[in-house]
Structure 1
């Protein structure tokens, strides 16, 4: 997900990346964020907005499926903090590459450097 940090300012396109996973096996949504926690109301409001839209869309398109997700809770997974305000995108890429639903991948400074090389 990409969260604009100043949505009402048309000149400020600064934002923050985080991940929302739909875990069908464990019947929940998982939010991984390297900068914010559940105490951050902006994060929870943003994540819940999109999760509710996914639930509505699923219900509309898969109403006859044996798997229904409208009751799935949201778990905010504890991750390591990134230590700055610029590497959230690299942490997100690390989560995409290694998240398997149990152990939070360790995204270190070395990982960020390697991801920057790949991205460049």
Structure 2
């Protein structure tokens, strides 16, 4: 699990938004759990592509002889109920990490 804090601007104000990236070795995929956004959001897309590329690069460097290569793993948006506000993302990220 990779808890992620993404800094971004909303209405000229810089805010932080938390979401979770999960490397699911059983299902051979990366999973994104975001309490307010979907893959259609360009800021989320840019952030998760960068982070997943870094994870794949580090995996190849540190586990070159692994029997579980992750280079071809897809990215899946885990559908979830969206909260009614935009400020509880950190709480939701921690709750999903606890499961």
Question: TM-score, length-normalised on structure 2?
Answer: 0.90
Q: Which runs of 5+ in 1 are unaligned?
A: 99-120
SS at match of 1:2: strand
Pairing 1:65–2:88 present? no
Higher RCO (CA < 8 A, seq sep 6+): 2
SS at match of 1:69: coil
CA distance in 1 between counterparts of 2:35 and 2:81 reads 6
Q: Which runs of 5+ in 2 are unaligned?
A: none
What is the deviation of 1:66? 0.9
What is the deviation of 1:83? 1.3
Which one has a bigger Cα radius of gyration?
Answer: 1
Pairing 1:2–2:9 present? no
2:84 matched to which residue of 1?
83
The ranges of structure 1 where at least 4 consecutive aligned residues each deviate by more than 6 angstroms after the TM superposition are none
**Hey, which of these two has a bigger chunk of helix by percent?**
1
1:106 matched to which residue of 2?
none
Question: TM-score, length-normalised on structure 1?
Answer: 0.75
Aligned pairs for 1:25-64 (under 5 A) are 25-64=26-65
What value does the CA root-mean-square deviation take over the aligned residues? 1.3
Tell me how many residue pairs correspond in the alignment: 94
